[in-house]
């Protein structure tokens, strides 16, 4: 994936962190004039991997604090931002604490079905929602992300299936893969009735 692809993606690290830091410090030298061995795509991937567990509010505040307290004079390194966030709890840790340490698992298909019930447009049964959600998270997301990046995501969370599914869901939402979910439901429903 090229740098422009990353910059155009709707990811909170790109939309929030890079936008703010770019406005405050200008273009980073590793993007404008990379040194030998510096790969901007890899640097951006690392920023996304390290920062995506924090909320947008935390990320914005960390960026503004770096500038406000003049902690760096040029475009910050990832380490600067991580140091600024070091005393912050990651979003997933906050959610677990709110549940008194008991992990709470979010049912994607149940939420999607409930949304349609609330909007009085639910015409499918739960197994169709389950299969449609799985289609988005497995087939569509893999196609959009690319097989290698998708496999890396699965490998990273292989020991925590609910967290992996949550990460896939968040990524799919960021990429707009659930925007036409009603059409996916219809497709899956037809396949189930003919299969």
pTM: 0.48
3-class secondary structure, 34: coil
Checking if the pLDDT of 104 tops 90, the result is no
Phi-psi region of 90 (alpha: psi -120 to 50; beta: other; left: phi over 0): beta
CA-based nearest residue to 25, from 96, 62, 73: 73
Residue pair 60/68 in contact (Cβ under 8 Å)? The answer is no
Checking if the pLDDT of 118 tops 80, the result is yes
Average confidence (pLDDT) over 47-61: 83
pLDDT grade for 194, boundaries at 50, 70 and 90: confident
CA-based nearest residue to 14, from 45, 57, 39, 37: 45
CA-based nearest residue to 192, from 143, 128, 112: 128
Residue pair 102/163 in contact (Cβ under 8 Å)? The answer is no
Q: What is the pLDDT of residue 93?
A: 53
The 10s digit of each residue's pLDDT in 64-86 is 888 888 888 899 998 899 888 88
The 10s digit of each residue's pLDDT in 9-43 is 556 677 788 888 988 999 898 888 888 888 888 88
């Amino acid at each position: 994936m090229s740098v422009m692809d990353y910059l155009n993606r709707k990811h909170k690290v790109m939309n929030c962190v890079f936008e703010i830091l770019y406005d405050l410090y200008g273009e980073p030298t590793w993007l404008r004039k990379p040194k030998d061995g510096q790969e901007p795509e890899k640097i951006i991937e690392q920023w996304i991997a390290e920062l995506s567990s924090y909320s947008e509010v935390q990320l914005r505040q960390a960026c503004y604090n770096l500038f406000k307290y003049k902690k760096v004079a040029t475009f910050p390194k990832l380490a600067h931002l991580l140091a600024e966030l070091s005393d912050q709890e990651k979003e997933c840790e906050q959610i677990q604490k709110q549940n008194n340490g008991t992990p709470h698992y979010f049912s994607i298909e149940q939420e999607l079905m409930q949304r349609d019930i609330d909007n009085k447009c639910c015409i499918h049964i739960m197994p169709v929602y389950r299969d449609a959600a799985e289609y988005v998270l497995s087939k569509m997301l893999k196609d959009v992300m690319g097989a290698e990046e998708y496999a890396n995501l699965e490998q990273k969370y292989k020991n925590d299936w609910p967290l992996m599914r949550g990460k896939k869901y968040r990524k799919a939402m960021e990429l707009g893969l659930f925007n036409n979910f009603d059409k996916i439901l219809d497709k899956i429903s037809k396949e189930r009735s003919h299969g």
